[in-house]
Structure 1
Amino acid sequence: MTSIFAVTDNEDILALQPRLTAADAGVRRIALIDLADLEEPDGLLWLVDRLRQDPAEDVRAEAARLLEAWEDEAVVQALCEALTDPAPAVQSAAAQSLSLLKTAAAGRVILPWTTHADVSVRIAAFRALRELRFAEAAPAASAALEDADASVRREAVGVLGWLKQLDALPALAQLASDDPDTEVRRAATGALGLASDAEVLPALRQALHDPAWQVREEAATTLGKVGHSDAGPALVEALNDDYWQVRLRATRSLGRLRFAPARDALIDTLGHRISNLRKEAALALGELNDRGAVAALQAAQDDGDPEVRKAVRIALSQLQ
Structure 2
Amino acid sequence: MSLATIAPPQHPPLDDADDDLQVLAPRLTDDDATVRRLALIELAELEDPAHVPWLLHALHDTDAAVRAEAAGRLAYWEDEATVAALVHTLEDAEPTVREAAAHSLGELKQPASAEALLAATDHARPFVRASALRALRELRLPAAFDPALRALADAEPGVRLEAVGVLGWLKREEALPGLATLAGTDPDADVRRAAVGALGFAPASGVAVLPALLTATRDQAWQVREEAATTLGKLRLGGAFQPLLDLLDDGWWQVRLRAARALGQLGPAHAVPAVPALSRLLTESIANLRKEAVIALGETRHESALPAVRLAAEDPDPEVRKVARLALSQLQAQ
Q: Is TM-score (shorter-chain normalized) higher than 0.5?
A: yes
- State how far apart, in whole Å, the 1-side matches of 2:156 and 2:183 are: 16
The 2-side partners of 1:213 and 1:2 are apart by 54
Within the candidate set 172, 176, 179, 2:179 is matched to 172
Any idea what SS the aligned residue of 2:227 has? helix
Q: CA deviation at 1:207?
A: 0.8
Residue in structure 1 matched with residue 170 of structure 2 by the alignment: 163
Match of 1:10 in 2: 18
1:86 and 1:192 map into 2 onto residues whose CA distance is 37
Could you say what secondary structure the match of 1:147 adopts? coil
Q: Is the 8 A contact 1:5 1:14 kept in 2?
A: no
Q: Which runs of 5+ in 2 are unaligned?
A: 1-8
* Separation in structure 2 between the aligned mates of residue 274 and residue 39 of structure 1, nearest angstrom: 49
Q: Give TM-score, length-normalised by structure 2.
A: 0.90
Q: How far off is 1:8 after superposition? A: 3.9
Partner of 1:140: 147
Q: CA–CA distance in 1 between the matches of 2:198 and 2:258?
A: 16
| Aligned pair partner of 1:205 in 186, 211, 214 | 214
Alignment of 1:97-108 (within 5 A): 97-108=104-115
1:202-251 Cα offsets, whole Å, 9 max, x none, are 21111111111111110000001112333223212221222221111010
**CA deviation map 1:4-51 (0-9, x unaligned):** 224544333233221111111111112112222333322111111111
Q: 2:39 aligns with which of 25, 31, 43?
A: 31
Match of 1:254 in 2: 263
Shift of 1:292: 1.7
Q: Which is further off, 5-14 or 106-115?
A: 5-14
What amino acid is the match of 2:58? R
Instruction: Report the Cα distance in structure 2 between the residues aligned to 1:299 and 1:73, rounded to whole angstroms.
Output: 62
How far, CA to CA, are the matches of 1:74 and 1:7 in structure 2? 21
SS of the aligned residue for 1:5 comes to coil
The one-letter amino acid paired with 1:23 is D
Instruction: Please give the TM-score of this superposition, normalised by the length of structure 1.
Output: 0.94
- How much does 1:3 deviate? 6.0
Q: Which moved more, 1:272-281 or 1:164-173?
A: 272-281
Report 1:1-320 matches (<5 A): 4-6=12-14, 8-51=16-59, 53-196=60-203, 197-198=205-206, 199-258=208-267, 259-261=270-272, 262-320=274-332
Distance, in Å, in 2 between the alignment partners of 1:268 and 1:26 is: 61
Tell me the C-alpha RMSD between the 2 structures: 1.7
**Among the aligned pairs, what percent are the same residue?**
54
5+ unaligned residues in a row in structure 1: which ranges?
none
Q: Distance in 2 between matches of 1:91 and 1:181?
A: 23
Please list the CA deviations of residues 55-79 of structure 1 after superposition, one character each: whole Å capped at 9, or x if unmatched.
1111111111111111111111111
